[in-house]
Each structure stands twice: as structure tokens, then as C-alpha cells.
Amino acid sequence: MLRRAPNVLLGVALSAGLIWFGFLVTGTRVDALVGGARPGGLTPLPGSEALHTTVLVDGQPTRVSDCTLASAPAAVLARYEALAAAESRRSDAPYIKQDAPALGGGVLLWRAPDGRRRAVFVESDRLGRARYRLLESDPPRAGSRRLPGGLEAPPGVEVVMSVERPGGGGLALLRTVAPVPAAADRLIGALAREGLTADPAAVALLTGDGAVTVPLSDGRGAARGVLTVSPDGQGGARASLTLD
């Protein structure tokens, strides 16, 4: 069963993929393998160069493999789509696919029969080879979706996804039925209670319903992250919070 991803889901998926890739290139790579496959679970294709690490997604350890293969990105995407289709039939849940022509590849999201969540991000590198990332995590535990660092989301704001870097910091994707100004105000207030200060110039722009990006700093004025809030097209707002 195939379901095409809406644009908002593609945005979330690609954002998460880029964040995860960012973790991999900032010193958290572990267990480097050349031409090998990670034992068990969602594995790289034969002949791939792969590097593996683990991050926390929704409070659950998520295994990430960053891979390169001398093959056409479309062929790699097709191989994993066949796996997603087969596992989706067994789990009675549709898989989601979104082509990404600008990246020379696409995104697959699905749930394995045992409940594990799987995602594949495929793109083309400068040499035309397939560069792809595999992500696999256990189902989130009840109440496990928190902001990075264990911060609590304010009332009325749902944490859609949270990713924590080893050693601290991370990313959270959020949504609320409140419009952009009210959503940003709630989030800024919650962050202030945790010692994070929003940039006053950015806060002054919270007068309309357009997207706004708010730099965050700690009590000493050091940069700590960025909060971005944008309309969801249905009267509410979605947000991303990145913390160093």
C-alpha cells in the first residue's frame, strides 16, 4: 500500500534527515564500516560504504546509517520501496513515499510488522552516486516526546518529533492549533522559564501570521539555538526548535 506524502510531511521528513545527517558530520559517528552491513534491522545495500550512530528520537534510541553506493539514486530508492511495500502489507499500514527531484532522490517512511519505525532518505552526490540515510527506531513510549534536554512543552503545544544529540542539544518539531503569534508567545515563555532568552528584534516581528525565526541565547548572551514558527495553512502553527 502506497500513500503519497503531503508537503508538510515531506518538510518534516527532510528536516529530520538533514538534522540527523548534521549529527553524523559533527563528531558523533561511531562503528565505521566499509562495504559492510549493520547486523540486524534495516541494513545498507551490498557494496555500500556506511557509518553508523545512534540518536534519541521521541525518547527512543534510533539507529542511523549514513551510506554511499556507486549506483543510481533511483535504483536505491526502488530497492527500499520494495521492502517498504512488503513490510507494509504485513503490518497493515500504508508506506509513504515522496519523490524529491531537487535532491535527485526521495523519501520513504513506513512501519515494520513488529512496530519499528523506518525511514530512508536518498539523494545524489556530486559524482552522481547514491547517498542515503537509513533510520530505524522502536515505537515511542507514552509520554516520551519531550523537547531536547528534557524540557517540557507548554500546554496546547504537541511535540511531533524530538531528536536529541549525544552530549546534549537537539531538535524538536511541534504543532498547535494556535496562530503563529500565540504559538510563538507560548513557546518563548516556556523557554524563558528554562533560562533561554528570545532575541528582542525577532519578538518585535510577532505581529502578523507570517513565519518568524527567533534566535535564542542563555543568561550570558551566548547563542543557544533557534526557534522557527510558521503557519500550517489551517489556522494553526508548526514550529521547529533547535538547541545547541
C-alpha span between 162 and 184 (Å, rounded):
18
C-alpha cell at 79: 530497492
Name the domain count of the chain.
Answer: 2
C-alpha span between 65 and 45 (Å, rounded):
11
Whether residues 202 and 182 share a domain: the answer is yes
> Does residue 67 carry a pLDDT above 90?
yes
Put residue 165 in one of left, alpha, beta given phi > 0 → left and psi -120 to 50 → alpha: beta
Residue 142 lies in a domain: no
Residue 73 lies in a domain: yes
Buried b (16+ CB within 10 A) or exposed e, 189-218: ebbeeeebbbbeebeeebeeeeebebebee
- What pTM, to 2 d.p., does this model score? 0.56
Q: Which residue has the higher pLDDT, 20 or 80?
A: 80
Task: Write the CATH number for 224.
Answer: 3.30.310
Residue 143 lies in a domain: no
Whether residues 192 and 168 share a domain: the answer is yes
**CB-based contact 183:237 (threshold 8 Å):** yes
Which of 78, 110, 137 delimits the end of a domain? 137
Whether residues 127 and 186 share a domain: the answer is no
Q: Structural domain of residue 176, as residue ranges?
A: 148-243
Among 6-20, 60-74, 106-120, 218-232, where is mean pLDDT lowest? 6-20
How large is the average pLDDT for residues 146-153? 76
Which of 137, 172, 206 delimits the end of a domain? 137
Residue 182 lies in a domain: yes
How large is the average pLDDT for residues 101-107? 85
C-alpha span between 22 and 242 (Å, rounded):
12
> Does residue 242 carry a pLDDT above 90?
no
Residue 216 lies in a domain: yes
In a 13 Å sphere around the CA of 20, the CA atoms on its Cβ side amount to: 31
Whether residues 104 and 167 share a domain: the answer is no
What pLDDT sits at residue 155?
87
Whether residues 14 and 128 share a domain: the answer is yes
Whether residues 160 and 130 share a domain: the answer is no
Which of 106, 137, 168 delimits the end of a domain? 137
Whether residues 99 and 214 share a domain: the answer is no
Whether residues 45 and 109 share a domain: the answer is yes
- Segment of 51-55, 100-104, 129-133, 202-206 carrying the highest mean pLDDT: 129-133
Q: Read off the DSSP letter of residue 177.
A: S
